[in-house]
Amino acid sequence: MAVFQYVGRGTMRPTTRRSQLQRGKKSLYERLSDIDRAAEEAREIVRRELAEYEKQENFLEQVTPGGRYNSEIANSLAAQMGIVVSEPVKRGRGRPRKYGPNDPRPPRKSRAKVRVTASLVSDVVRGVSPSLRAPAERKPRRASSRTTSGTVSPVTAAPARIPTPAPKAAPKVAAALLESTLAGGLGQDTIQIETPETAFEIKPVETRTVQITVVENDPEYEAELAEQAALVKARLDAENEPGEELPLPSVRRTKFTRRYDFSDAKDASKVDPAVLALFPHFGLSTTSPSEEMSDEDMTKWIFATSYTDEPDEEYRQDRFKNDLRIYRSVGGVFKAKKFRLEREIQRERDRVAVWHVIDARVTDAEQFSDRAAKGEMSDDLARMWVAHLDYLALGNLEDSEHLVWREIVDAMEWPKGFSRIDLAIWAEQDPNVVPDVRSWAGEPKNFPERLRYVPFPP
pLDDT tens, residue by residue, 243-295 = 545 444 433 444 444 468 888 888 888 898 999 999 988 989 888 888 888 88
* Predicted local distance difference test score (pLDDT) of residue 40: 92
Q: What are phi and psi of 4, to 5 degrees?
A: -105, 150
| Phi/psi of residue 265, nearest 5 degrees | -75, -10
The Cα 363–Cα 451 span in angstroms is: 24
- 186 HSE (CA, 13 A, CB side): 8
Q: In the beta sheet, which residues pair with residue 152?
A: 191
Rounded Cα gap, residues 449 and 442, in angstroms: 15
Q: Is the whole model's pTM more than 0.85, yes or no? A: no
Q: Which residue has the higher pLDDT, 209 or 10?
A: 209
Looking only at the bridges linking them, the beta strands covering 191-192 and 151-152 are antiparallel
Average pLDDT over residues 154-172: 49
How confident is the model over 416-444, as a mean pLDDT? Answer: 87
Phi, psi of 423 (to 5 degrees): -70, -35
What are the C-alpha distances in Å from 416 to residues 23, 69, 379, 420?
A: 68, 77, 11, 11
More confident residue, 131 or 396: 396
pLDDT of residue 152: 46
Average model confidence (pLDDT) across the chain: 76
Distance CA 265, CA 358 (A): 11
Beta strands 191-192 and 10-12, pairing class: unpaired
Give the C-alpha separation, 83 to 78, whole Å: 5
What is the C-alpha to C-alpha distance for residues 315 and 318, in angstroms, rounded to an integer? Answer: 5
Query: Residue 329: pLDDT above 80?
Result: yes
Burial 410-421 (b: 16+ CB within 10 A, else e): eebebbebbbbe
Specify whether the backbone of 174 is left (phi greater than 0), alpha (psi in -120 to 50) or beta.
alpha
Helix, strand or coil, per DSSP, at residue 151:
strand
Phi, psi of 151 (to 5 degrees): -110, 140
Instruction: Label residue 113 by pLDDT band (50, 70, 90).
Output: low
Determine the average pLDDT of the residues in 17-22: 87
Please tell me whether the peptide bond between 458 and the residue prior to it is cis, using omega within 30 degrees of 0: no
Q: Residue 455 and residue 458: Cα distance in Å, rounded? A: 6
User: Rounded distance, CA 196 to CA 213, Å?
Assistant: 54
CA-based nearest residue to 303, from 330, 343, 328: 330
The DSSP bridge partners found for residue 4 are 12
